[in-house]
Amino acid sequence: MIGRLLLALAAAFALAFLLSPTSFAVLFQPLTRNGAPAIYTQASLLRLTLFHLGIVALAVLISTAVALALALFVTRPVGREFLPLARTITTIGQTFPPVAVLALAVPVMGFGTGPTLVALILYGLLPVFENALAALTGQPAKVAEAARGMGLTPAQRLWQVDLPLALPLLLAGMRLTAVISLGTATIGSTVAAKTLGEVIIAGLLSSNTAYVVQGGMIVGIIAVLIHAGFQHLERRAARATGQTD
């Protein structure tokens, strides 16, 4: 209950700040020096936030699609032998630093959103893949046996049994990926992607702590909200699939 109240307050605060940043100037004034501006005004914070969210949403969707497809493939009889390979790919995606991905992608794709998207997608594969794998392989043997015994085809088993039962864990994987990507997306601004990283970098370049804090604050609040939103969905999915603990 208290948790919900805090979330609602955080959401209201973030929204008010984004709609009218200058109204909150007094809050950030103490963080500035030599009369520097307290609020970033070179670009609309709301617009930057929406771009930031858009890139993250797209990256999460693509990571999920790729990771889920991989997990499905390696849990079918034809793909079983590719499991170690898929594990290696997703693990490398996670361990290879996103900054290095940017550096490698810019010469190929040019400046802008593209390299950032690639970095985020690679970085986000692992959580979804591992969770989808756990969900698909951890299903009760009796349920799979019943589904086969009643004459569901492999495709019907996939859509009607495997995927619905995997949904809660899949959502948990997406939650991790979304939260990680939200923070990581800020570095996209170093290669001219429009994200909230722009505010933080501007703060670093001009030694204006107020910018750094407001950029970080927005990202932080949104991450907490998205985390809570996914958890809510996971609980609902778990209840709907009779997997309440």
Partner 1 sequence: MIELRNLTRHYGEVTAVNDVSLTVQTGQIAVLVGTSGSGKTTLLRLINRLVQPSSGQVLIDGADTASLPVHHLRRRIGYAIQGDGLFPHRTVARNIATVPRLLGWPKSRIDARIDELLALFQLEPAAFRDRMPHQLSGGQAQRVGVARALAAKPDLLLMDEPFGALDSVIRAKAQSDLRDIQRQLGTTIILVTHDIQEAVQLGDRIAVMDRGRVLQYDSPAQILTQPATPFVRDLIGPTERAFRLLSLTGIGPITMPGEAHGTPIARDATLRDALAECLWSGRDALPVQGGGIVTLDALRANAAQDRQ
Q: What's at 142, amino acid-wise?
A: K
Site mask for partner 1 (CB under 8 A), range 203-242, x = bound = -------------------------------------xxx
Contact 29, 38 (CB under 8 A): yes
- Angle, CA of 101, 196 and 45, to the nearest 5°: 155
Residue 53, amino acid: L
User: Which of 159, 164, 229, 231: binder of partner 1 (CB under 8 A)?
Assistant: 164
Quick one: tokens of 111? Answer: 């400046």
For residues 57 and 123, what is the distance between their CA atoms, to the nearest angstrom? 14
The reply on whether position 142 binds partner 1 by CB under 8 A is yes
Q: How many residues sit close enough to partner 1 to count as binding (CB under 8 A)?
A: 21
Which of 161, 213, 217, 228 contacts partner 1 by CB under 8 A?
Answer: 161
Q: What are phi and psi of 76, to 5 degrees?
A: -90, 160
Q: What share of the chain is helix, strand, coil (3-state, %, to 5)?
A: 85, 0, 15
Closest CA to 174 of 49, 98, 65, 50: 65
CB of 208 to partner 1, least distance (A): 52
By CB under 8 A, the residues from 121 to 140 that bind partner 1 are 140
Q: What tokens appear for 158 in the block? A: 């996939």
Based on the shown chain and the rule CB under 8 A, indicate whether residue 153 belongs to the binding site for partner 1: yes
CB of 81 to partner 1, least distance (A): 21
Q: Which is nearer to partner 1, 134 or 161 (CB)?
A: 161
Examine residue 145 and tell whether it contacts partner 1 (CB under 8 A).
yes
Q: Which residue type does 20 have?
A: S
Question: Least Å distance between CB 164 and partner 1?
Answer: 5
Q: Which residues bind partner 1 (CB under 8 A)?
A: 140, 142-143, 145-153, 156, 161, 164-165, 240-244
